[in-house]
A and B are shown apart, each in its own frame.
Chain A
Amino acid sequence: MTTMEKKIMSFSVAASLVLCVPQTASAMHIMEGYLPPAFCIAWGAVCIPFLAAGVIAIRRLVQQHRKSILLLAMAGAFIFVISSLKIPSVTGSCSHMTGTGLGAILFGVSTTSVLGVIVLVFQALLLAHGGLTTLGANTFSMAIAGPLLAWGLYQAGKKLKLPKLLNVFLAAMLGDLLTYCVTSIQLAMAYPSAEGGFWASAVEFLAVFAPTQLPLAVIEGILTMLVMIGLETYAKTELHELRSVKRGLFR
């Protein structure tokens, strides 16, 4: 390397380090107006079956136990509240949890997807995270793909008899990671790179968002684990009630 090249290289490393510490690292919502119309419609269409299943399940549940609508509403409000609050993080930046992994573990996928849509609309209108045209894409990554993986991993871990807390940690962390990967892929599909095509663009989006999203996923896993510890210690009876509600949901 010549001295000039070395200088450029060290400058680019320094620049990337500086850029790696953005101030706000909220969960990765695609912002309003970012996707072309065809993609908005397509991602919305993908979500419809999941939402329909969720609405049917919730409607049946509420007919059987009228009280469960209040439990579900509280759960939705809880997901919204923790996604709007600042959590401690390594770099001193502002980060927020997604809370959908926790939702999936506690309430199951179809319920979480319906709660997730409502929470995403609220986030768009009250916090300016995400948007109305990108609602479909955000719903798919945050309220369907992430919770689906988290729930699947949690069930598999239960079968494999993993220690419960490790299981919760892994499910929440990997669910969050999948959300971030799916969002990057959605962005790459909408805007493939001119030279390398879809994959080059996907790798670029993954790389640019990795510094904020990887630590966030680990912290989300740890926090979900701690919330579960808190619940087991202080809210045994409520957890039992929730389990009976969930059994009603799957019957």
Chain B
Amino acid sequence: MIAGILAGLVFFSLFAGQLPLVWLAAVCLGVVLFFLLAGGHHHDGVLTMDVYARRSRLCRENAAFKTGVSLVLLVLCICCQSPVPPLCLFVFLSAVTVAAGGIRLRTYLSLLTLPGVFLLLSGLTLLWDYTSKLPEKAVLYLPFFGGWLAVLPAAQSLAMLVLSRALGAVSCLYFLSLSTPLPELLAVLRRVHVPAIMVELAVLIYRYIFILLATFRDMKDSAASRLGYRGLKRSLRTTGLVYGGLLANSFRRAGACFDAMESRCYTGQIAFLTEKKRVTAKVVGLLVLPVLGMLAGVWFGF
């Protein structure tokens, strides 16, 4: 709701003075409706993105190839000097993730609102400047404590560029994270010689996240059934104690895990089996076009 109002305000200041009033109102209304309908920040399943990645049809493709191309696209996207190529990239990669990956459109849109609040709040800061005397070119202005808060055309174009680059980059990130399960990415990191101890830690952390989340769910349910979350003060206390209990529990579990590993001849190295996946023509065909397009976009700067 509030994100919706905020979004309306940001888009109003972004396009004010550039579009006729009817179009301006239509854009703002569209954005507000999008946030109202697609919004929603779920906490039931913390790791929903991991589940989507495993369900995606693109999950069968080679992880190293997907990672490499996504990183190249990311770099090209933030190097762009005009908002057009990143926006095209955003549309294209979203379509790939939804159509070729088989993620539901509604899910994808609701995931897009996750970084929304940051984008909107900082967009507001980029757009509105505080000045002591009113600049002549200001498109919008408000009096504010003896000075003026004003929107300038230069700030509008900067905000447009930043907004579109962020959208393009988020679509790259989502393409990668909604098609590649984390363990496969960690295997890629191991192959590019990230320090072994870090990869090993990351793999163990990934496994323990599920254990801790399950334990946490039990603890929270039992605390809630004893009315532990009635009122702010009590729920703060309960939350703190549950977290403390969770940490203590996790240390105890680490001890048990170590004993189990030691009894299975653990010598300081953990070896994992990875499934070999080939680079198929399909994924190459899908990704060649955006890479070439972005290269052209950065090179010619349009």
Asked if A231 meets B247 with Cβ closer than 8 Å, knowing A22-B121, A23-B2, A126-B177, the reply is yes
Nearest neighbor of A84 in chain B, beta-carbon distance: B46
Chain A residues positioned under 8 Å from B125 (CB to CB): 187, 201, 204-205, 208
Neighbouring B residues of A36 by C-beta, 8 Å:
78
Give CA–CA (A241, B258) in the complex, Å: 14
B-facing mask of A207-251, CB < 8 A → 1, else 0? 011000000000100110111111101110010011000000000
Is the beta-carbon distance between B166 and A34 smaller than 8 angstroms?
yes
Q: Of B26-34, B193-201, B274-282, B287-295, which binds chain A?
A: B193-201
Return chain B residues, CB-CB under 8 Å to A12: 142, 144
Cross-chain contact of B212 among A81, A119, A219 (Cβ < 8 A): A81
CB distance from A220 to the nearest CB of B (A): 11
User: In the docked arrangement, what's the CA distance between A31 and B86, Å?
Assistant: 15
Which of A122, A225, A228: most chain B CB closer than 10 A?
A122
With A32-B115, A122-B206 as known contacts, state yes or no: A67 contacts B241, CB within 8 Å.
no
Chain B, interface SS category: helix
B182 at the interface (CB under 8 A from A): yes
Residues of B within 8 A of A227 (CB): 240, 243-244, 247
Contacting pair B236 A88 (CB below 8 A): yes
Chain B neighbourhood of A219, CB < 8 A: 236
Cβ of A73 and Cβ of B162 under 8 Å apart? no
Q: Are B75 and A73 in contact (CB under 8 A)?
A: no
- B158: nearest residue on chain A (CB-CB)? A191
Docked pose: A91 CA to B46 CA in angstroms: 22
Given contacts A5-B143, A118-B202, A223-B236, contact A133 B170 (CB under 8 A): no
CB–CB A31/B118 < 8 A:
yes
A74 x B253 contact (CB < 8 A): yes
- For A230, list chain B residues within 8 Å (CB): 240-241, 243-245, 247-248
The interface residues of chain A lying within 8 Å CB-to-CB of B128 are: 204
CB contacts (< 8 Å) of A72 on chain B: these are 201
Bits for A14-41, please: 1 = Cβ < 8 Å to B, else 0: 0100110111110011111111110010
Indicate if the CB atoms of A18 and B248 lie closer than 8 Å.
Answer: no
Q: Does B264 sit within 8 A of A, measured CB to CB?
A: no
Please give the number of chain B residues whose Cβ is less than 8 angstroms from any Cβ of chain A in the complex.
97
Tell me if B266 counts as interface (CB < 8 A to partner A). yes
A62 to B204, CA, bound (A): 14
- Which of A55, A125, A209, A235 contacts B182, CB < 8 Å? A125
**Bound-state Cα–Cα, A67 to B118, Å:** 40
Which of B55-63, B96-104, B129-137 lies at the interface with chain A? Answer: B129-137
Cβ of B95 < 8 Å from any Cβ of A?
Answer: no
**Are A9 and B143 in contact (CB-based, < 8 A)?**
yes
Could you list 19 A-B pairs, sorted by A, with CB under 8 Å? A18-B5, A19-B9, A24-B41, A34-B122, A69-B200, A69-B201, A76-B208, A77-B209, A81-B216, A88-B232, A118-B205, A119-B205, A128-B177, A193-B130, A201-B125, A209-B121, A227-B243, A231-B248, A238-B252
Interface residues in A132-155 by Cβ distance below 8 A to B read 132-133
Given contacts A33-B166, A74-B254, A196-B130, contact A225 B79 (CB under 8 A): no
B169 to chain A, nearest CB (A): 2
Q: How far is the CA of A73 from the CA of B142 in the complex (A)?
A: 52
A162 in the interface (beta carbon within 8 A): no
Q: Is B117 positioned at the interface, with any CB of A under 8 Å from its CB?
A: yes
In the bound complex, do residue A131 and residue B216 qualify as a contact, i.e. CB atoms below 8 Å apart? no
Say yes or no: is A166 at the interface (Cβ < 8 Å to chain B).
Answer: no
In the bound complex, what is the Cα–Cα distance between A3 and B277 (angstroms)?
71
When C-beta atoms are compared, the residue in chain A nearest to B205 turns out to be: A76
B124 interfacial by beta-carbon distance below 8 Å: yes
How many residue-residue contacts, CB under 8 A, span A and B?
Answer: 280
Q: How far is the CA of A76 from the CA of B211 in the complex (A)?
A: 13
Given contacts A33-B170, A88-B236, 14 further A-B contacts (CB under 8 A): A19-B6, A24-B3, A25-B117, A33-B172, A58-B201, A73-B204, A73-B205, A191-B162, A195-B131, A208-B125, A219-B236, A226-B244, A230-B240, A230-B244
Q: In the complex, A149→B77 CA distance in Å?
A: 35
Q: Does A86 have its Cβ within 8 Å of any Cβ on chain B?
A: yes
B residues near A156, Cβ cutoff 8 Å: none
A8 located at the interface, meaning its Cβ lies under 8 Å from any Cβ of chain B in the complex: yes
Nearest first, the 4 A-B pairs at minimum CB distance are: A230-B244, A226-B240, A33-B169, A235-B248
Is B160 interfacial (CB-CB < 8 Å)? Answer: no
Chain A nearest Cβ from B250, distance in angstroms: 4
| A33 and B75 within 8 A (CB) | no
Bitwise, A74-90 to B at CB < 8 A (1) or not (0) is 11111011101111101
Using CB atoms, name the residue of chain B closest to A15: B9
Find out whether the CB atom of B173 lies under 8 angstroms from the CB atom of A22: no
Beta-carbon contact of B129 and A193 below 8 Å: yes
CB contact list, B237-272 vs A, under 8 A: 237, 239-241, 243-248, 250-255, 257-258, 261, 266, 268
Q: Is the CB of B166 within 8 A of A23?
A: no
Pairwise interchain contact B143-A37, C-beta atoms closer than 8 A: no
Binary per-residue interface labels of chain B (125-162) against chain A in the complex, 1 for a CB within 8 Å, 0 otherwise: 11011110001000000111000000010110010001
